[in-house]
Amino acid sequence: MRVDYTELSKTIAALTEGETDEVALMATVVCEVHNADSRFDWTGFYRVVAPELLKIGPYQGGHGCLVIPFARGVCGAAARTGETQLVPDVEAFPGHIACSSSTRSEIVVPVWRKDGSLLGVFDIDSDQPDAFDEADDKGLSGVLREVFGR
Ligand code: SME
């Protein structure tokens, strides 16, 4: 099953209409995204909780590491640069943090609030190599902008 980002956005918009609580919004986004595509084996948020520090938020899949400094990992790179990280082979990414030995590829998207502050990053791991592409970056960024940037 492959995600239809247009339909996914409509579903999430309907489920979150009028909601402003960030935890409720994150939990709903994770649930809907994780179950939308068989490539997605771990789906979750890491939140900015202090300068240069991320802490796990709502997620689905196996346990995730709790704390990630901006200096480490794919999540830290996304938070540090403000740019999506598309990782076709996690073994080739310097400093990749392996929460599961089965992960082969990863996408991490920065999440911005409407005031321009960085809420955190949205991380999806896949057990399939080279599972993500620009269409996923565009689709996920659009969903996240509609939910958190509005
Ligand atoms: N792989 C991430 C860490 C989070 S686990 O994948 C859930 C990273 O390198 O930042």
Please report, as a single letter, which amino acid is at residue 11: T
Q: Per-residue pLDDT for the chain (150 aa), expressed as one digit of tens each?
A: 899 999 999 999 999 999 999 999 999 999 999 999 999 999 999 999 999 999 999 999 999 999 999 999 999 999 999 999 999 999 999 999 999 999 999 999 999 999 999 999 999 999 999 999 999 999 999 999 999 986
Backbone angles phi, psi at 25, to 5 degrees: -65, -45
Helix (H, G, I), strand (E, B) or coil at 92: helix
CATH superfamily of 5-148: GAF domain (3.30.450.40)
Any ligand 1 atom below 6 A from CB of 8: no
The pLDDT score that the predictor gives to residue 149 is 87
Domain boundaries, the chain: 5-148
Ligand 1 atom at minimum distance from 72 CA: 10
Residue nearest to atom 6 of ligand 1 (CA): 99
Is residue 126 within 8 A of residue 106, CB to CB? The reply is: yes
- What's the CA-to-centroid distance between 18 and ligand 1, angstroms? 31
Ligand 1 atom at minimum distance from 64 CA: 7
Backbone angles phi, psi at 118, to 5 degrees: -85, 115
Phi-psi region of 75 (alpha: psi -120 to 50; beta: other; left: phi over 0): alpha
Any ligand 1 atom below 6 A from CB of 120: no
The pLDDT score that the predictor gives to residue 104 is 98
pTM for the full predicted model: 0.98
